[in-house]
Amino acid sequence: MARTVISDAWMFHYANGKHQLGYGDIVVGDQGVIEGIELKKPHANQGYLRDFNPDRIIVPGAVDTHCHGGGEFYNCTEGHCTGQNGEYSLGSEPLDQMLRKILRAHLQHGTTGMFLTSLATQHLDELLEAANGLYNSDNSGDPVSHARLFGIDIEGSFLYPDRSFTGAQNPEFMQEPTPEVIHDLLNKRDSPIIKKIALDPRWGESAMMAAEHIIRYHDAIPAIAHSGASHDSVMQYILRVADASKQGKVVFVHLGNGPNGSGNKPVNASVMEAVSTALHLGLPVFAENILDGQHLHPQESLRFFDLFGPNHYLGVTDNIGLSEPSPITRFKVAGVDAAVDPENPEAIWVAGKEGVALCGSRATTMDHLLPTFLRMVMRPTYEDLPGVYRRGQREPMFEQPLSFEEAMDYALRALCSNPVDVYGLGNFGKIALGHVADLVELEVDHHLLSTKVARVFLRGNPVDC
């Protein structure tokens, strides 16, 4: 027998290719799948769709496809960071327990599914081994009490060891992505746990062959990250992926990446030229942006959003695993020293590169990324936007700022449905018939354009976060 999980609620349900504001009931079956969305006219005191912005809404849970850690100082490849010396260590407790704590920590902020992202590290095998059983359990259909582990995102291991572009990644642990290495990596486990592997076209034919192998034989996507490659080599990489499979896609990992002291850190011009060429040719390329209010100037985020379009744009946290507030002001992760900005505790810099290279973030999806996106597209100026770039600029963002309903549609695509669609994660990320009822109830302050997670539902069941 079906049961009504939420009744008389404002929600963003998915219909006709959009997340649309409506009022009514969400009916969920015994297996946690949405069996009915019963829209109705709101009560008189609830307002009406065209002239009312509700302060409590139900949205699909977020899916974060680029997250290194979270919770009480946990990083998925390096372990637990202690307050005594700021050192990450795998020895303090079993890694699988740490992974569960990371997933549990993000659930309370509205992330109901995620990838765990590796650094360039000597501990990659340990991560994959610890995550394998967790991945199989989370994707079996059984109930979970944490954000679902959708897979592992390998970011650092196959970057090109050029310190001009490696940022917080340690070149000591990078290696050439030969087809043999990639084949061994992807076939070592009994599950398709690896969902994304970042490569650099500067590795030449090795990267091209590795990308072809990933897309032809495995349930994963070859990405480009931290790259100083030329226009021609990036285009060759994209074309090889597109030719290898009709389902071939290329994701640009946290495109734009980070600031320097005087503005936005310039993206490699050759990479951006290749991106523009690929989009003009209609090739399947997608962008991840870190929407934490620190890494990208709002103008840059909007530029990428406009360039890629609402269905090829993904918002990610790049959470490094250091909670806020925290007693730790300096720490070491994967051999890289990092420091918290004393004037802006939300910003974490690579030590010695303060103002130039950020070392991940402390952001979460529904409490940070969502309001950052809303302010970005609903404010007529970027005055009063939080983050590194808060300097009171008054240049216009849009000739006509978006409405709340329009802004929420684009934001929920970036945070919920696009990640699911791009990576083929199944029936998640939408409030729609046949989709899993992983839902989040938000409190919305329409004056400040802030959001706060009030409740989380996994397969229709409220979870005590």
Q: Which fold, 61-426?
A: TIM Barrel (3.20.20)
Question: How far apart (Å, rounded) are the C-alpha atoms in residues 324 and 232?
Answer: 42
Residue 398: the pLDDT is: 62
R_g (Cα) of the chain, nearest Å: 21
If pLDDT is split at 50, 70 and 90, which confidence band does 50 have?
A: very low
Higher pLDDT: 43 or 36? It is 36
Quick: pLDDT tens for 376-423: 888 765 554 544 444 444 455 566 778 899 999 999 999 999 999 999
Residue 439: the pLDDT is: 97
Strands (DSSP E) contained in 346-394 are 348-350
Q: Residue 356 above 80 pLDDT? A: no
Lowest average pLDDT, out of 141-150, 211-220, 265-274, goes to 265-274
| pLDDT, the chain, mean | 86
Higher pLDDT: 437 or 93? It is 437
Residue 397: the pLDDT is: 56
Residue 354: the pLDDT is: 77
Quick: pLDDT tens for 171-204: 999 999 998 999 999 988 767 899 999 999 999 9
Mean pLDDT score, 135-143: 83
Residue 432: the pLDDT is: 98
For the chain, percent of residues with pLDDT exceeding 70: 89
Q: Check the CA dihedral 419-304-162-205 and report its sign.
A: positive
Q: Residue 46 above 80 pLDDT? A: no
Residue 173: the pLDDT is: 92
Mean pLDDT score, 432-457: 94
Quick: pLDDT tens for 110-132: 999 999 999 998 889 999 999 99
CA-wise closest residue to 316 among 50, 70, 136, 128: 70
Pairing status of strand 336-340 against strand 348-350 = antiparallel
Question: How far apart (Å, rounded) are the C-alpha atoms in residues 384 and 399?
Answer: 18
Other C-beta atoms within 10 Å of 60: how many? 29
pTM here? 0.92
**Contact (CB, 8 A) for 119 and 321:** no
Question: How far apart (Å, rounded) are the C-alpha atoms in residues 173 and 184?
Answer: 17
- Helix 95-107, helix 124-138: angle, nearest 10: 60
User: Is 400 exposed, middle or buried, given 0-12, 13-18 or 19+ CB atoms closer than 10 A?
Assistant: exposed
Kindly list the distances between the CA atom of residue 75 and the CA atoms of 25, 251, 337, in Å, as whole numbers in the listed order: 39, 23, 14
Residue 392: the pLDDT is: 43
- For residue 113, what are the β-bridge partners? 63, 148
Residue 56: the pLDDT is: 93
Residue 382: the pLDDT is: 52
User: Domain locations in the chain?
Assistant: 3-58+442-463, 61-426
